Each structure stands twice: as structure tokens, then as C-alpha cells.
A and B are shown apart, each in its own frame.
Chain A
């Protein structure tokens, strides 16, 4: 991400409306070069119009014609606008194939209350009792109505905030330059992608029958950025002691949060109720859940320790 290279100069776009263009000012010349085929003038001067109206230079007494009044330009304009409309339709139809927009909309159906409660849960998950997502006729309820549902608003905002806070931290150490923001963003994104792929691979290897979708997984893995931001901000305000204290607290909280959430998704029904079930498969799944949960604090420390001096 190199903002320096993206010198995008937007051009002022006029509101698209159909209108009849009018003649150029200041060129009212009796020996004008174009036939005026616009009806307002032509009705008045019918006799004087040269009817061959393709707009080519023909000396006649009619006033200055509008550039777009002749049929060829009209056709070109209509063709151009229909082409643009077709292109837009094509993009709209095909974007669903690459990015499941309607599925994503579910993860962004949040409101302020949900976000507040979820942030509270991320920092203090110890008192929450019921971690099961409510269903409504086979589809999970939107995050707005159930605090246990995963959402993508918090992870996305936390990720971007993390990149900016990293920029701020580097700025206070006089190590800031705008392309560092891009560097931080790409490296954090790379770590996230790596994590998602590793977990997907291990889920596949363990042959777990779960309804944990990829987007759900991205959402859960994105929650640790909240703790990271807290740690770095405390580190900026109170130095290393504050950083370690807050980061330690957030690490433990996210560990507990992940275990309690993933347990319901990965482990079999019986084990999720808290009854320890013997058997190799469930052992393996338990280890996988613990490994995923334990990876979170490690990554939290790895991605933030160089920001706090």
C-alpha cells in the first residue's frame, strides 16, 4: 500500500442529466461553420437552414449550432451511456461470485449497543454464562439481536485502528513516515491470512464436522486486535509497565473468550456441555481448540512489542 503512488485526482463530476447543449458564447458569427439543427432556432429560420444536417461546415445564415445537436454525436452519447450501464450491470452481477455481499451484510448488521456489549465481553468474559448463538428457523440471528453472534465490524475497525495506533506509536518515537502505515497494514494482514489458512488446514486435517465458516473464523481471529490496541495505547501513556499489564490482562481474556466460543463450534455436542468425553477424536479437537486459543496471545505480543519502547 503506497499512497504516494496513488495520486488520484478526482475530476468534478457533473450531475448526469439530459439537457440540450447550447451554443458557444461569443462566437455569434454570421458566417458560422455549423448548421443549427436545434428546433428552437430552426423553426424560426426554416427557410434558411441547410437540411443536410450532419453538422459539416456549410456557410449559411442560421445561428451557431450546438455541437451535440447533430445525430452522430447523439448516437455516440447514447451508445456511450448504454455501454457504461452495461458495464455497471456486469460488475454488479459478478461481484457476488467473488465477494458474497449478502453474506457479508449479515456480519455488519450491528448497532451501538451490540458493539458496546461485545467490547465489554472481550475484556471481561468471565461472568458471561450462555455462549450459544440463537437460531431463528435454521439461520443464525443477526448480531444486532444476539451478543454471541460474530460480526465483522469490530474486527475490521480494530484492524484499521491497530494500523493507525502503530503509526502513532512510531510517530512518538520519531520513526514515522506515511509509507510505514502501508507497511504495517500489509504485514498485519499477512499474519492474519496466515493464521486463517493454518487453522483451516488443521480443521481439515482433523476432519471436524463444524459449521464454522471462513468468515466466522476471520471474525473470531480479528477480535484480538482490540486487546492489542488497548495494550499499545497503555504503553504509550504509561510506558512498559502499563503495556505489559494491559496486554497480559487482554491475553488472558482473549484466551478464555476463544476457548469458550470455539468449544461450541469445534467440539462435539457432548463435550461442549462440559462433560469430558474420552476418545481420540475429541482429544484431538480439544487440543486444536487450545492451540488456536493459545496462538492468540502469542500473536498479540509478537505484533506489538516492537511498538513500545
Chain B
């Protein structure tokens, strides 16, 4: 059952790249120069990661629905680890809770979005979006390292950051799934999820 072999031309969502094979040599051939870089082969595209991060960081910028077409879990993994690391700096060793809550939260959002939208979503897409929108929460937990969040300033800051995270997440979901009139309804469960993370950071 031989599959037809085609030379890999090194294109990952960027149609303009083209590889020019070097002249074949007797022993090595063009195998070494021809192969794509490791990151491209792994599917980690820094440009897209950066674009998605910028979309999260500018809550008022209109999101493009097609950026969520490729499921990319490398960025969210980094953000989860960074969140756990900043919690560690504050003396709370709770990596397990972070992972557990993000898993349960992603599962819950996945079920809810599948029930609420006309088109379904894949689990990878949900996990990817929620992971990217965790970035402002990292800011919150790094503040918690320096001063305690249990005063009035802390509460206002926490509420603001939760609002920022859930607004970005709902904006991306709405544009990717074409759900009208439901942005607040999608934002609320995201706010609950990020509220749990905030609970861990604050208390």
C-alpha cells in the first residue's frame, strides 16, 4: 500500500513560500537543505501566535473569524504554564488546580457552545481560544505577587481583568461561530471560568 510520495514544499498556510532545491549531490542529495524548518514541521507558527495574542490584548479591535481555523495549543500551553509560574512566585503551588479547572472549563464551554450555536465547534478550537484569553489573567497574578488583592483596589482590578478576558473570548467566539445577539450570553460563562482563576489568584 504505497502512498504516492510528493516532495514537501514547505508551505504552512503561507502560499507564497517556495523552496528551491539545491543541486543533487551523489550521497546527500537535496534532503538536508530541502526539508522545512523544525518549527514549521511542528505546526508552531510564531506569526499567527503573535497575531492572536494581539487580538486578545486589544479588546476593542474587531476579531477576524478565520484566525481560529487552525487549532493551535502551543500558545495556550505557554500561557497556562506562565500563569502557574506566577502563582508559584506568590507562594501558591497550584498547577494541578490550574490544569484541572482549565480542563473542566474547556469541556463545559465546548458543551455549551455546541448546544447554543448553529454550527458546532471542535474542542481544540475552544481550548485554543480560552487559552489565549488567559493572558490578562497572568497580569493579575503577577500583581498578586507584589501586593495583596484583597482590598478595594484589588477587587476593582480583578473585576476589570475578568471583564477583559471574557470580552475578548466572547468576541472571538462570536465572530468564529457567527452567533448574533448572544455575545453577553457567551461572555458570562467565560467570565465564570476566569473568575475561578481569579479566585485562585486572589485567595
Interface residues of A (CB under 8 A from B): 1-15, 19-23, 25-26, 28, 30, 36-41, 44-45, 61-64, 69, 71, 74-75, 78, 101, 104-105, 107-113, 115, 153, 156-157, 160-161, 164, 167-168, 171, 176, 178, 181
Contact = CB atoms under 8 A, between A and B. Distances in A.
B116 A61 contact: no
A8 B99 contact: yes
B10 to A, nearest CB: 9
B1 A12 contact: no
B203 A171 contact: yes
B127 A4 contact: no
B15 interface: no
Nearest to A20: B8
A61 B192 contact: no
A14 B45 CA distance: 11
A78 B1 contact: yes
Contacts of A112: 181-185
B151 interface: no
Nearest to B131: A10
A61 B77 contact: no
B181 A15 contact: no
> What's the dominant secondary structure at chain B's contact region?
helix
Nearest to B3: A74
Contacts of A4: 96-97, 100
Contacts of B94: 178
Q: What 7 pairs across the A-B complex have the smallest Cβ distances?
A: A3-B100, A6-B100, A22-B35, A14-B43, A111-B181, A39-B5, A108-B115
A155 to B, nearest CB: 13
B36 interface: yes
Given A10-B73, A157-B189, A71 B2 contact: yes
Interface of B: 1-8, 24, 26-32, 34-36, 38, 41-44, 70-74, 77, 94-97, 99-101, 103-104, 108, 112, 115-116, 124, 127, 180-185, 188-189, 192, 195-196, 199-200, 202-203
A8 B100 contact: yes
A13 B71 contact: yes
Contact of A6 (B6, B8, B96): B96
Contacts of B181: 111-113
A13 B124 contact: yes
Contact of B7 (A7, A20, A63): A20
A75 to B, nearest CB: 5
A71 B4 CA distance: 11
28 contacts: A3-B97, A3-B104, A12-B72, A12-B77, A13-B73, A13-B124, A14-B42, A15-B43, A22-B41, A25-B38, A28-B28, A30-B27, A40-B34, A61-B26, A63-B27, A63-B28, A69-B5, A74-B3, A101-B115, A107-B115, A108-B116, A111-B182, A157-B192, A160-B189, A171-B203, A176-B199, A178-B94, A178-B101
A78 B182 CA distance: 41
Contact of B70 (A15, A36, A44): A15
A218 to B, nearest CB: 14
A4 B93 CA distance: 11
Given A15-B43, A105-B115, A41 B70 contact: no
A6 B104 contact: yes
A9 B32 contact: no
Contacts of A19: 8
A40 B34 CA distance: 11
A14 B36 CA distance: 15
Given A12-B74, A20-B5, A112-B184, A63 B29 contact: yes
